[in-house]
Structure 1
Amino acid sequence: MQFKLDSLETEKYASRGELRSIILALKMAELKYLEDGVKPILLLDDIFSEFDADHRAHLYQLIKNYQTIITTTDRDHIPAKLLTKSKVVEMK
């Protein structure tokens, strides 16, 4: 599968944030495909650190109705709305 942005191959020309956005779009499409009565659990590895505040807010809207496990190295990257509804496990 090959992706292009403005007719350029993403693996050569896309920024790290653009690549993360593409991966996230694929992950969300996969969720919709797998969803058949029971919503699957969503696993996200440090995704919020890759996005600005607007993209974080949009991502929150996409995942708020799914059971989600999120890893992060910085809790400040997680939207406050999400933290208030979450169980946080801190690893040291």
Structure 2
Amino acid sequence: MTQVNISLPPAVEEYLHQQITQKGYKNLEDYIYHLILEDQKHNTQEKLETMLIDGLDSGTPIPITEDWWEQKRAELLKNLLNHNCTYAS
């Protein structure tokens, strides 16, 4: 595991200790770890939203019906069978 040392002004250090106490973290390490996980989740959400918008802007929309899904399932199954893959249900 990587260890990181940082210097913080007293006001920031006090804020961190308040957050740890108020939010119920065991220590500063747990709080920082939580912040990093939240940042990762936020970045993943932004990427997903960008991909969704790109998808919406990618061309003329088509209606997605039950027939369309059946055709997609049939194509996927055909591709699986052509590549000697087995499908476990």
State the TM-score bracket (shorter-chain normalisation).
under 0.3
Q: Whose helix proportion is higher, 1 or 2? A: 2
Tell me the TM-score normalised to structure 1 length: 0.26
Q: Whose strand proportion is higher, 1 or 2? A: 1
Tell me the TM-score normalised to structure 2 length: 0.27
Larger radius of gyration: 2
